[in-house]
Amino acid sequence: MSTKCGISIPQTFEQSVVDLELIRKFVVRAETLGYDSLWVQEQMITDTAILEPVALLTYVAGLTSRVRLGTAVLLTVVRNPVELAKTLATIDQLSGGRLVVGVGIGGPTTPHEIFGVPREHRVRRFVEGINVMKALWTQPKASVSGDFWNFTDVPMEPKPAQKPHPPIWFGARTEVALKRAARLGDGWMGPGSSSSAEFVQHMEWIRRLLDEAKRDPATFSISKRVYIAVDDNRDIAERRLRQWFGARYKFPDMAPRVSIFGSHRECVDKLGALVKAGAQHLLLDPVYDHVEQMELLATEVVPAL
């Protein structure tokens, strides 16, 4: 595979019936096919059966040995960063240093109150939480002086296997959020909710913001999540994508706006445009017929990128 491509793990299940055999078969085969990475996403409060991402990655770490494991993204602002730092360091150790920590602040509909976290100052809380995790991962005895967390000489072992810590990729789509990514992150992932045209615009912003932050672009990873369906019958592909977006996001019209679908040639051309725009990594997210789509992507699409 010339362009690095990851793939999303089956995580959402209809009728609340979790298919453990599908997950096992999928991740083992994905590693065999040469995918760069396997990814999970987070949505805690939902009427659709969606597995918790950190626990799922722990299971997947035990089924695989080479493929990287990523979160796209964790809503860290509603999590305790001390506990999360410990959990993620453990996964990095259990996986032999294969973790990529994708983080995001979430949207205005994120139900902070359910998690016992106030909605006020969520940006400040988000940034401080990231700094708490970095301190615990890198300092022998961590000290933090902030608005929400204050502690001195706190030990946490083991540290992550990766040094100084697992790469942190920010999910972001606004200019102010991209500025945070350029300042604090090791990479940026364009969200699946943004279209290809929006990604091109965001690339213009991130290049400028990296320059303003005096960051070396060669050390900053750029990825794009892509909802995708390979099918010569575009009408069937669109119908099934709409069905999934309606169940998952309650917004079926989002499907044709942000997804790439159609013949393998059309998918290659449209993914190639993202690579040309600056994507170094693609997170491919087939939302139905997971194993069949994974095989089609690996044999007919990814090698042509």
Tell me the pLDDT tens digit for each residue of 129-140. Answer: 999 999 999 999
| CATH H-level superfamily of 4-304 | Luciferase-like domain (3.20.20.30)
Using 50, 70 and 90 to split pLDDT, how confident is the model at 3?
Answer: confident
The mean pLDDT value of the chain amounts to: 96
Q: Are 298 and 268 in contact (CB under 8 A)?
A: no
Q: Are 283 and 226 in contact (CB under 8 A)?
A: yes
Cα dihedral angle (43, 52, 285, 18), rounded to 10 degrees?
-110
Tracing tokens 């999590």 back to the chain, one arrives at: 79
What distance in Å separates the CA atoms of residue 143 and residue 139, rounded to the nearest whole number? 8
CA separation, residue 147 to residues 126, 128, 155, 164 (Å)? 11, 8, 21, 25
What does the pLDDT look like over 84-124, one tens digit per residue?
Answer: 999 999 999 999 999 999 999 988 778 899 999 999 999 99
What does the pLDDT look like over 170-213, one tens digit per residue?
Answer: 999 999 999 999 999 999 999 999 999 999 999 999 999 999 99
Contacts of 14 (CB under 8 A, 6+ apart): 48, 49, 247
HSE toward the beta carbon, residue 19, CA cutoff 13 A: 15
pLDDT at 248: 87
pLDDT at 1: 44
What distance in Å separates the CA atoms of residue 93 and residue 304, rounded to the nearest whole number? 34
Would you kindly state where each structural domain of the chain is located, as residue ranges?
Answer: 4-304
Give the global pTM: 0.96
DSSP for 246-301 reads HHHHS-TTHHHHH-EEESHHHHHHHHHHHHHHT-SEEEEE--SSHHHHHHHIIIII
What does the pLDDT look like over 219-251, one tens digit per residue?
Answer: 999 999 999 999 999 999 999 999 999 988 899
